[in-house]
Amino acid sequence: MCLHDHTPEAPPATAVPRRGILAGAAALAGISVVSLAAQLGSAPAAHAADHAESSSRRDRPVLPPPMIIEGGTIVDPKTGHAVEDGVLVLEEGKVSAVGSRNETRRAVAALAGRARTVDASGRWVLPGLIDVHVHANALSDAATILQGGATSVRSGSTSFYQDVALAALPEWAAGASPRMSPAGLFVSPELGESLLADPDLGPLASLRGGVTEPEDLAYLARVNLKRGAKVIKTRANPRAGLPEQDPRELVYNYEQLSAVVKAADRAGVLCHAYSAEGIDGAVRAGVRSIEHGVFVTEATISRMASQGTYFTPTLDAITGMSGSSNPILAARGREYTPVIKEAVRAAHEAGVTVVAGTDSFGSEVTPIGTEVRLLAEAGLSPLEALRAATVNAAALLGWSGEAGRLVRGAFADVVLVNADPLSSASALEQVSSVVAQGVLVRNDR
């Protein structure tokens, strides 16, 4: 039963400004001037304060210096085309030129004496990878994700809007964190201590049975959007990774999920779902992507294909349970592994867009390359698996043309690997260099 007064058509009012809420979230995430400077080290963004003293543009972020990455094989995940001995020019946080040495000759000459040069010979040059399901609660979590090659991520929710705070970093502290599409708080019956994150959530604390009524679900979704969430995360089933929970029980049905989808509007909804009933209800409700989706049926796969619903199978998180010391989780892992692999194969063959998400949580980070390899083992070709972490993922996030490809005007996000990703999906586990927002944040050479 809905026990508080709210107006579904309007965002909730608040006496506490969004800036105050996010200041607390930033503190919980460990974001401070000192922590950023320590993490960035000698990167240009770490000296933003020094520049600000002598610059009249104090209201603008400090841009990283130009960079030229040359000598490697540049791969376009969309076409599968590769340019050997290619050159990539990054300037003002964007790709300004890409192609053969002859095609980029003028762009390189224009930066003579001003650009940092990275020798990529013997390596393959890829757009920054995208992990569409992570739970980064702190700056250190985000940094670890970045080191693994994921330069863009979609949050699978945090407890106190930490992801919203982290999402603001790339513009002002280039290289500190991946680009992030934040989800804010999990739209779930039991909010626990997340109720302390925001005074607007106070009315939900008195609800008997938790947040279950459609009006309350819509209210929670709108609070998230007001605080800066760019996507909404909800659930149809409990978690599989907790032995005391049954991931096939139904948490939210079609009507409840429909209320969340309607409130989210263009932001879209990612939905944690395991059971056939839960997945089907979420897809019929219009969620943008199904997360996990182990027991998806053939009929629901067909509906997903026709509606354009994305599928994030989080293979590493599910198959990894088989190695758990807990006998219940280990049994689930053994049972679910062949089922989820078959679901990935069937969905892909039916035309469902499969995307790569690790479901990494906190400091327990799985490199996105591992998920790409597992997608290939489930039936995708190396190129198709690469697309799951680049162009397909970028489309899901609404960043097509900016992320997922190295084309003029795209984000200055780059990953260098030591093996050919068009021949083997495991190549993405061999990351040697990472450029995030134009800053070289990892270079093993």
pLDDT at residue 240, rounded to an integer: 96
Q: Does 441 reside within a domain?
A: no
- Tell me the pLDDT tens digit for each residue of 393-436: 999 999 999 999 999 999 999 999 999 999 999 999 999 999 99
- The residue range of the domain holding 254 is 128-404
Q: Does 373 reside within a domain?
A: yes
Q: Does 445 reside within a domain?
A: no
Q: Does 345 reside within a domain?
A: yes
- pLDDT at 63 exceeding the cut of 90: no
- Token readout for 243 is 């032995």
- Number of folded domains that form the chain: 1
pLDDT at residue 16, rounded to an integer: 54
Phi, psi of 408 (to 5 degrees): -55, 130
Measured in whole angstroms, how far is the alpha carbon of residue 231 from the centre of its chain?
11
Q: Does 101 reside within a domain?
A: no
- pLDDT at 121 exceeding the cut of 80: yes
- Tell me the pLDDT tens digit for each residue of 233-253: 999 999 999 999 999 999 999
Q: Tell whether the torsion through CA atoms of 77, 83, 85 and 89 is positive or negative.
A: negative
Alpha carbon distance 222, 95 (integer Å) = 36
- Tell me the pLDDT tens digit for each residue of 316-334: 999 999 999 999 999 999 9
Alpha carbon distance 379, 338 (integer Å) = 12
Q: Does 122 reside within a domain?
A: no
Q: Does 53 reside within a domain?
A: no
Q: Please report, rounded to a whole number, the percentage of residues in the chain having pLDDT higher than 90.
A: 82
Task: Give every CB contact of residue 222 below 8 A, 6+ residues apart in sequence.
Answer: 11, 12, 263
- Regarding predicted confidence, which is higher, 23 or 269? 269
Residue 151 near residue 178, CB atoms below 8 Å: yes
3 state SS of 275? coil
This prediction has a pTM of 0.90
Measured from the Cβ of residue 330, the count of other Cβ atoms closer than 10 Å reads 15
* ∠ Cα 190 195 198 (to 5°): 145
- pLDDT at 50 exceeding the cut of 50: no
The answer for 308, left when phi > 0, alpha when psi is -120 to 50, beta otherwise, is left
* ∠ Cα 66 422 381 (to 5°): 130
pLDDT at residue 179, rounded to an integer: 97
- pLDDT at 20 exceeding the cut of 90: no
- Regarding predicted confidence, which is higher, 274 or 9? 274
- pLDDT at 58 exceeding the cut of 60: no
Task: Give every CB contact of residue 57 below 8 A, 6+ residues apart in sequence.
Answer: none
pLDDT at residue 217, rounded to an integer: 98
Q: Does 220 reside within a domain?
A: yes
- Tell me the pLDDT tens digit for each residue of 321-371: 999 999 999 999 999 999 999 999 999 999 999 999 999 998 899 999 999
- Tell me the pLDDT tens digit for each residue of 152-200: 999 999 999 999 999 999 998 999 999 999 999 999 999 998 988 889 9
Sorting pLDDT into bands at 50, 70 and 90, what band is 59?
A: low
pLDDT at residue 57, rounded to an integer: 46
Closest-CA residue to 166 (of 212, 222, 213, 230): 230
Alpha carbon distance 257, 187 (integer Å) = 10
Q: Which residues of 345-376 are buried (b: 16+ CB within 10 A; e: fewer)?
A: ebbbeeebbbbbbbbbbeeebbbbbbbbbbbb
CATH number of 383's domain: 3.20.20.140
pLDDT at residue 46, rounded to an integer: 38
How distant, in Å, are the alpha carbons of 341, 370, 429 from that of 425?
A: 16, 9, 8
- pLDDT at 17 exceeding the cut of 80: no
Section 81-89 average pLDDT:
98
pLDDT at residue 317, rounded to an integer: 97
Alpha carbon distance 344, 350 (integer Å) = 10
- pLDDT at 39 exceeding the cut of 80: no
How many residues are present in the chain?
Answer: 445
- pLDDT at 43 exceeding the cut of 60: no
- pLDDT at 38 exceeding the cut of 70: no
